[in-house]
Structure 1
Amino acid sequence: MKIRAAVLEEFGRPLEVQELDLAEPKAGEVLVRLVACGVCHTDLYTASGADPSGYAPAVLGHEGAGVVEAVGENVLSVAPGDHVVTLFSPQCRECVHCRDPRTNLCLAIREQQNLGYLPDGTTRLSRDGEPIRHFMGTSTFAEYTVMPEIALAKVSPEAELDRACLFACGLSTGLGAAMNTAKVQPGSTCVVFGAGMVGLGAVAGCRLRGADRIVCVDLSEERLALARGQGATDTLAGGPDVVQAILDMTGGFGADYTFEATGIVSVMRQAVEAARMGWGLATVCGVAGKGETLDVIPRYLITGRRIAGSSFGGVKGRDQVPQLVQRYLDGEIDVDAFISHRISLDEVNRGFELMEAQDGIRSVISMT
């Protein structure tokens, strides 16, 4: 079938919306009609050429939601008409990682996905017979996509898909960092560095876990106001003195849990230094630039502080994304506050421009 999709032809250049061919789903695969897609920093990171594992040409986009149109052989968990959220972090439910509650890093198709292919090592996208690679196994900057069944979360049809798409990456990453990775305890003190989509999600996750005090750190007063709307009890302007400010707020102890959601290694270090001696846990969610390293003074670790990394918030997508979407439907998560701009597929590059200007939190592409 013919589709329109935003293609990365060359790193550092605007995406090009083109007509491509999309082949039918093979066994274990699903054809999805995309309804909405968020524009995420990871897409920009790859398009810019900063991602050392990036490749082109490819159809970018991974924060999508849509409706199942057709299924290949042996697909059992979704059917035509189902509403789904795309998962760059799949869940086969069979590999050693899927069977272990400690991680969500499914191993089933990781190697092929990282190279831009579907599980059989080929693509369903092409242009004049030339294969076009997939991105993060999803390629949701498009009218339609073909994906593995194990990379789709079936969600309630009551959820508007332009809201549900945010659970495909940024929002779930932040929520899960607090709820799954850190497992924030009721009555605790938490500090979140960064009030973008992931950081705001972490603030909401700390609230849902019953934290007593939630401090959010950012340079933007507008974003700090959004953090207060998600449950932050205190806000601080970021800068070199913020660790001391956090210590002063906590009687000199620091926070039980800290979360880094900026991708800046100096802020990652602040998250470690602001964690409480004895048991403080610093959870790193941001993606640092190519070749950057995190330097930590060993005594911070010797005295009981710990560092954890969190990918997609430790969320096992097929099982837990539907639960998070239901919590949104139940009124526990304010998703509308995250959507700052609504754009068309032809305006995808404007979504990148708005992100670089830090204008709003999330641009959502409508495919209709």
Structure 2
Amino acid sequence: MKIRAAVLEEFGKPLNVTEVELAEPRQGEVLVRLAACGVCHTDLYTASGVDPSGYAPCVLGHEGAGVVEQLGAGVSSLAVGDHVVTLFAPQCRECEHCKSGRTNLCLAVREQQNRGYLPDGTTRLSRDGVPIRHFMGTSTFAQYTVMPEIALAKVNPEAPFEAACLFACGLSTGLGAAMYTAAVREGSTCVVFGAGMVGLGAVVGCRLARAQRIICVDLSPQRLELAAAHGATDTWLAGPDTVAQILEQTRGFGADYTFEATGRVEVMRQAVESARMGWGLCTVAGVAGKGETLDVIPRWLIQGRRIAGSSFGGVRGRDQVPELVERYLAGEIDVEAFISRRIALEDVNHAFELMEAQDGIRSVIEFR
């Protein structure tokens, strides 16, 4: 079938919204009609060429929600008409990692997905007979996509698509970093560095975990106001004295939990140094640039601080994304407040410009 899609033709260049071919789903695959898709910083990160694992040409997009239109052979957990959220982090429930209960990093299709292919090592996307690779196994900057069954979470059809799609990446990453990776304890003190989508999600996650004090640090007063509205008890403008300020406010010990959601290595170090001596946990959810390294003084670790990385917030997609969506429907998470603009697919490059200018939290593509 012919579809409209936003293709990354060349790194550092605007995406090309054009017509491409999408083949039918094969064994274990599903055709999804996209209804909404968030424009995430990871898409911009790859389009810029900074991502060392990026490839072109490909159809970008990974924060999608839509409706199942067709099933490939062997698909048993989904039916035509189901509402789904796309998962760049699949959950097969059968590999060693899935069965361990210790990680959400499924091994089932990882190798092919990282190369831009579906599980059988081929693509369903093409143009004039030339294959176009899939981005993060999802490619949701398009009217339709074909994905593995294990990379789709069935969600409550009462959830509006424009809200549900944010659980495909940014919002779940922040929520999960607090609720699953760090497992924030009730009554604790937390510091969140960054008030973008991931950082705001972490603020909400800390609130849902009943943290007593939630400090959010950012350069934008507007974003800090949003953080306060979603559960931050303190909002501070970022600066070189942030660590000293946190230590002063915590009797010199540091915070029980810190979260880094900026992707800046200097902020990651601040998050480590702000963690409490003895048991403080720093959770890194931001993605640093190509070749960057985190410089940590070993003494900070010897004194009992720990560092944890968090991919997709540790969320087990097929099991836990539906649960998070239910908490949204119950009124515990105000997702609509994070949607800054509703746009058409043709406006995706403008959405990147707005993101670079830190104008708003999320632009959401609506497919009609």
**In structure 1, what residue type is equivalent to 2:241?**
D
- Paired residue for 2:276? 276
- The CA distance in 1 between the partners of 2:198 and 2:101, in whole Å, is 22
- The CA distance in 2 between the partners of 1:340 and 1:20, in whole Å, is 29
**In structure 1, what residue type is equivalent to 2:6?**
A
- The CA distance in 2 between the partners of 1:276 and 1:314, in whole Å, is 22
- The CA distance in 2 between the partners of 1:62 and 1:175, in whole Å, is 18
CA deviations on 1:226-270 (whole Å, 9 max, x unpaired) are 001110000111111000111111111110000000000000000
Q: CA deviation at 1:297?
A: 0.7
Q: CA deviation at 1:334?
A: 0.7
- Paired residue for 1:106? 106
- The CA distance in 1 between the partners of 2:196 and 2:322, in whole Å, is 23
Q: CA deviation at 1:275?
A: 0.4
- The CA distance in 2 between the partners of 1:101 and 1:220, in whole Å, is 38
CA deviations on 1:317-348 (whole Å, 9 max, x unpaired) are 00000000000000000101100011100001
Q: CA deviation at 1:43?
A: 0.3
- Paired residue for 2:349? 349
- Paired residue for 2:196? 196
CA deviations on 1:120-177 (whole Å, 9 max, x unpaired) are 0000001011101000000000000000000000000000011000000000000000
- Paired residue for 1:32? 32
List gaps (5 residues or longer) in structure 2: none
- Paired residue for 2:308? 308
- The CA distance in 2 between the partners of 1:79 and 1:348, in whole Å, is 30
- The CA distance in 2 between the partners of 1:20 and 1:37, in whole Å, is 18
- Paired residue for 1:156? 156
- The CA distance in 1 between the partners of 2:271 and 2:293, in whole Å, is 15
- Paired residue for 1:207? 207
- Paired residue for 1:3? 3
List gaps (5 residues or longer) in structure 1: none
**In structure 1, what residue type is equivalent to 2:110?**
R
User: Is 1:297 matched with 2:292?
Assistant: no
- Paired residue for 1:95? 95
TM-score (norm: length of structure 2): 1.00
Identity of aligned residues (%): 79
**In structure 2, what residue type is equivalent to 1:182?**
A
- The CA distance in 2 between the partners of 1:258 and 1:334, in whole Å, is 23
- The CA distance in 2 between the partners of 1:252 and 1:106, in whole Å, is 40
- The CA distance in 2 between the partners of 1:128 and 1:345, in whole Å, is 22
- Paired residue for 2:178? 178
Tell me, what secondary structure is at the counterpart of 1:99? helix
TM-score (norm: length of structure 1): 1.00
- The CA distance in 1 between the partners of 2:30 and 2:362, in whole Å, is 27
Tell me, what secondary structure is at the counterpart of 1:98? helix
Number of matched pairs? 368
- The CA distance in 1 between the partners of 2:21 and 2:299, in whole Å, is 57
- The CA distance in 1 between the partners of 2:57 and 2:271, in whole Å, is 37
CA deviations on 1:169-212 (whole Å, 9 max, x unpaired) are 00000000000000000000000000000000000000000100
Q: 1:1-368, aligned counterparts within 5 Å?
A: 1-368=1-368
Q: CA deviation at 1:101?
A: 1.6
Q: CA deviation at 1:92?
A: 0.3
CA RMSD of aligned residues (A): 0.5
Over 2 Å off, 4+ runs: none
- The CA distance in 1 between the partners of 2:227 and 2:58, in whole Å, is 35
Q: CA deviation at 1:224?
A: 0.3
Tell me, what secondary structure is at the counterpart of 2:225? helix
Tell me, what secondary structure is at the counterpart of 1:255? coil
- The CA distance in 2 between the partners of 1:322 and 1:175, in whole Å, is 13
CA deviations on 1:84-103 (whole Å, 9 max, x unpaired) are 00000000000011112210
- The CA distance in 2 between the partners of 1:244 and 1:198, in whole Å, is 24
